[in-house]
Chain A
Amino acid sequence: MHTRRLEWIIERALFLCAALSVLTTAGIIVVLAVETFEFLREVPVVEFLTGTEWTPLFATPRFGVLPLVAGTMLVSAIAMVVALPMGLLSAVYLSEYAPDGLRRIVKPVLEILAGVPTVVYGYFALMFVTPLLQRVFPQMAGFNALSPGIVMGIMILPLVSSLSEDAMRAVPQGLREGAYALGATRMQTALQVVVPAAFSGITAAFILAVSRAVGETMIVAIAAGQQPRLTANPFVPLETMTAYIVQVSLGDTPQGTLEYRTIFAVGMLLFLMTFVLNMVSTWLRERFREEYS
Chain B
Amino acid sequence: MSVVTPSVASLSGLTARPGQPPARADAPVKIDVDRMNFYYGAKRALDGISIQIRANLVTAFIGPSGCGKSTFLRSLNRMNDIIPATRVEGTVLIDGQDIYAPGVDVVELRRRVGMVFQKSNPFPKSIFENVAYGLRINDMARSKAELADRVEESLRQAAIFDEVKDRLQDSALALSGGQQQRLCIARALAIRPEILLMDEPASALDPIATQRIEELIYDLKKTYTIVIVTHNMQQAARVSDHTAFFWLGRLVEYDRTDRIFTAPAEKLTEDYVTGRCG
Contact = CB atoms under 8 A, between A and B. Distances in A.
A180 interface: yes
Interface stretch (B106-114, B247-255, B268-276): B106-114
Interface string B114-144: 1101010111110000000110011000000
B188 A181 contact: yes
Contacts of A99: 84
B158 to A, nearest CB: 14
B82 interface: yes
Contact of A183 (B121, B122, B184, B191): B191
Given A177-B82, A291-B173, A183 B110 contact: yes
Interface string A195-211: 01101000000000000
Interface string A169-196: 0001011111111111100100011001
Contact of B137 (A176, A177, A183): A183
Contacts of B121: 172, 174-175, 177-178
Contact of B123 (A100, A180, A196, A291): A196
Interface of B: 77, 79, 82, 84, 107-108, 110-111, 114-115, 117, 119, 121-125, 133-134, 137-138, 173, 184, 187-188, 191
Nearest to B107: A183
A264 B133 CA distance: 54
25 contacts: A172-B121, A175-B123, A177-B115, A177-B121, A178-B123, A178-B187, A179-B123, A181-B77, A181-B114, A181-B115, A181-B117, A181-B188, A182-B110, A182-B137, A182-B188, A183-B108, A183-B111, A183-B134, A184-B133, A185-B107, A192-B133, A192-B137, A193-B123, A196-B125, A197-B123
Contacts of B125: 196
A100 B85 CA distance: 12
A193 B110 CA distance: 17
Given A172-B121, A291-B124, A182 B82 contact: no
Contacts of A177: 79, 82, 115, 117, 121
A181 B47 CA distance: 25
Nearest to B130: A178
Contacts of B134: 182-184
A195 to B, nearest CB: 10
Nearest to B115: A181
Contacts of B173: 291
A176 B82 CA distance: 10
Interface residues of A, number: 22
A176 B79 CA distance: 11
A225 B125 CA distance: 47
B84 A100 contact: yes
Contacts of B119: 172, 174
Interface of A: 99-100, 172, 174-185, 188, 192-193, 196-197, 199, 291
A180 B191 CA distance: 13
A185 to B, nearest CB: 6
A169 to B, nearest CB: 14
Contacts of A193: 123
Given A182-B134, A183-B138, A183-B191, A174 B124 contact: no
A179 B188 CA distance: 10
B124 to A, nearest CB: 5
Contacts of A182: 110-111, 114, 133-134, 137-138, 187-188, 191
A94 B73 CA distance: 29
Closest 4 CB pairs of A and B: A182-B134, A174-B121, A181-B115, A183-B111
A202 to B, nearest CB: 13
Given A174-B117, A183-B111, A193-B123, 18 more contacts: A172-B121, A175-B121, A177-B79, A177-B82, A177-B115, A178-B187, A179-B123, A179-B133, A180-B79, A180-B82, A181-B110, A182-B133, A183-B107, A183-B138, A183-B191, A185-B107, A192-B137, A291-B124
Nearest to B108: A183
Nearest to A185: B107
A291 B125 CA distance: 13
